Amino acid sequence: MASDTAYDRLIPDLRLDGRVAAVTGAGRGIGRETARILAAAGAHTLVTDIDEQAAEETAGRIRDEGGSASAFPLDVTDEHQVAGFTQEAERDAGVIHILVNNAGIVTMAPFLDLPEEEFDSVLAVSLRGAYLMTRALLPAMRKSGWGRIISLSSMLGKTPARYTAHYSAAKAGIIGFTQAVAKEAAPEVTVNCLCPTNVETGIMEKDFEFFGEREGISPDDLRRRWVDAIPLGRLGQPLDAARAVLLLAGEAGAFTTGQALNVSGGEEVH
């Protein structure tokens, strides 16, 4: 019989002890669950959000659960704030090994009614934010010889829907950004993104109302329609995306880069 050590080599290591992870938009939803799961795996987690109180709440919850976390107020669209965060975080915690670009804005609007400032703000948070954070943290990752960058795109970045021109453009941009940077960041750093289906957060209730009103059905009927479209028979949960981040963030993701991984219950398959 093989030794325990030999068996252990067959099992991907999901532990992140000694690593430092930064998660943007971590005050709620997918960002909060991602910060929690990375901390549970042993990483010191830097919880950032434009809402300082929400960031503090997430970091406090992680510490209550036995993890290690610090909170930072951060507007990812502001390059001066990003630079300030990077300097402070690296001074206090050392190299940031894992970056999760989660911050984003979700709005829906018919294209011809879409205000220019709404288009700009959605792209700024999702796409410009990922660019600024990646540009700030990638050099130290490469110098250290190890890094993981994981950004949140969306199923709509691959298969857009009506009323989502600005959101779909931002999320498709994340995919292209990821694939291009992955080729330059290798071999020291892997760069990937996730494409979740509809995930049950507070934002989704507004989506049910918006689309239900335009399609002439109740939010409950629309919810059932969306669930029926998912082969696994349920909507996504924040923890589903967080678990996928964990898979890519450790040694299990060592040979995966430039990918747009569907976390869609089978609804998106390309």
Contacts of 244 (CB under 8 A, 6+ apart): 194, 261, 263
Structure tokens at 123: 């792209």
Contact at 8 Å (CB) between 153 and 260?
yes
CA atoms within 13 A on the CB side of 202: 4
Residue in 170, 168, 102 with CA at minimum distance from that of residue 134: 102
198 alpha-carbon distance from chain centroid: 14
| Cis amide linkage into residue 110, ω under 30° from 0 | no
Contacts of 34 (CB under 8 A, 6+ apart): 23, 26, 100, 102, 238, 241, 242, 245
CB-neighbour burial class of residue 113 (10 A; exposed 0-12, middle 13-18, buried 19+) = exposed
d(CA 75, CA 44): 21
d(CA 41, CA 31): 15
Structure tokens at 72: 């930072």
What is the radius of gyration, based on Cα positions, of the chain? 19
Q: Is residue 167 annotated as a catalytic residue, yes or no?
A: yes
Contacts of 31 (CB under 8 A, 6+ apart): 23, 24, 25, 49, 58, 100, 102, 103
Active site residue ranges: 167
